[in-house]
Amino acid sequence: MTSITRLALGRPAVVFLATLLLIVIGVFAVFRLKTELFPDIDLPVVTVATTYPGASPDAVLQDVTIPVENAVASVSDLKELHSISTENLSVVTAEFDYGTNMERVEEEIAASVNNLVLPAGANQPTVDRFDWSDFPVIFYGLLGDRDVSELETIARRDVLPVVEQVDGVARVAIEGSAAQQVLVTLNPQALAEYGLTTQQVVTALQENNVSRPSGIIFDNVGRVLPVRTTSRYTSLEDIASLAVGSSEAASPLLLKDIGQVAMATDPFASISRTDGQRSLAISVLKEADANTVEVANNVQDKVSQISLPAGVELRTHFDQSDYIEESINALLREGALGFLFAVIIIYLFLTGLRTTLVTAISIPLSIIIALIVLAWQGITLNIITMAGLTVAIGRVVDDSIVVLENIYRH
């Protein structure tokens, strides 16, 4: 016999107290476990996306993609770099080895690309890395016998304030709304009178709404911090008061002297449909350290209390907590069935109450120990860990029967 077996047989009281202690710790561990749909995997991939409106794929490649690739290539620990250049868009993907400090890599890439001087019209590159917490926990659809602008007003007035106040909610996004844009309407007669062209006005608008790198500085811990010079429009009056030229009659010549500036609906905004009907898509994203099931259930409770106008409906299209709770229920069901059948078979064939109790205790105790380890290591209950526990239950049942049968025989 091994030392563990001798200890268990020689000190049954100690074993009994240790078992009770494990059960108590297991109960606390269960309440500490976070439940998620997917495991927390830090993928070693960083993407740099840059929009260049109106540019062809070749122009995007030469003017944006290649400079971004050169900037990213200087980052340490880079494994592979590939890119896609399409009309209006450049996407550069950098891959690293697993175990790389991705926060440090993301900061290095952001510092590198922020110092690039891109052509006029190209937007600032967006550096991002994949995170499961960026996947919405709930998708809603707001629809009714109203136009989209009215639905958006209802969503922002009645739905968003309620959902955003729920603990664990990071942000709430709306898709399919009538997005607003600034519309500048030029007067052809005024342009001809002052000798201006449309391109001159466009150039003036672009050159006075800029964000360009001005160099770098080092902080007290040696990190590189990019410095940018920015000049942004903050109101319609800023745009209308922009000097676009000069003349003897009006010096300087302002944009409002040759046209009008107003807010208008963007005709290229995203479109959301539910059952063939125009609607608004509302997605709820949780904080990275929040419990998916808890956040989703709290959001659903708050949404059920919202009083919407007649004819307007808020439908749930997707809820992560449903899949998680279904997986947990399946795990409990399979575990209970395995436990029940193992106890019945052992009792029928070995006809001993003590041997039956050994199996009845070992199966749930094994699961409790596994949950303690998960909580200790900060691992969540997700589709991967729950699938593993389901398989493990079958192995525990099988091992219990085999061991007890051999004990009974010898």
Judged against a pLDDT cut of 80, whether residue 355 lies above it is answered with no
User: Per-residue confidence at 140, pLDDT binned at 50, 70, 90?
Assistant: very high
Higher pLDDT, 68 or 394: 68
The pLDDT > 70 percentage for the chain reads 94
Rounded to whole angstroms, the Cα distance separating 85 from 62 reads 9
Judged against a pLDDT cut of 90, whether residue 301 lies above it is answered with yes
User: Per-residue confidence at 92, pLDDT binned at 50, 70, 90?
Assistant: very high
According to the model, what pLDDT value does residue 264 have?
75
Q: 185-189, 378-382, 403-407: lowest mean pLDDT where?
A: 403-407
User: Per-residue confidence at 299, pLDDT binned at 50, 70, 90?
Assistant: very high
The domains of the chain, with CATH numbers, are: 3-38+323-409 (1.20.1640.10), 45-129 (3.30.70.1430), 180-265 (3.30.2090.10)
- Tens digits of residue pLDDT in 261-292: 888 766 545 677 777 788 888 999 888 778 88
What is the number of alpha carbons within 13 Å of residue 395 lying toward its C-beta? 8
Give the residue from 81, 113, 107 showing the smallest Cα distance to 94: 81
User: Per-residue confidence at 91, pLDDT binned at 50, 70, 90?
Assistant: very high
Higher pLDDT, 125 or 219: 125
According to the model, what pLDDT value does residue 298 have?
92
What pTM did the predictor assign? 0.60
Q: Residue 158 gets which letter from DSSP?
A: I
Token pair for 44: 């070693």
**Cβ within 8 Å of residue 315, ≥6 positions away:** 140, 141, 142, 143, 274
Average pLDDT for residues 286-310, to the nearest whole number?
Answer: 88
Average pLDDT for residues 232-253, to the nearest whole number?
Answer: 78
Rounded to whole angstroms, the Cα distance separating 144 from 279 reads 7
Element (H, E) at 340: helix 320-350
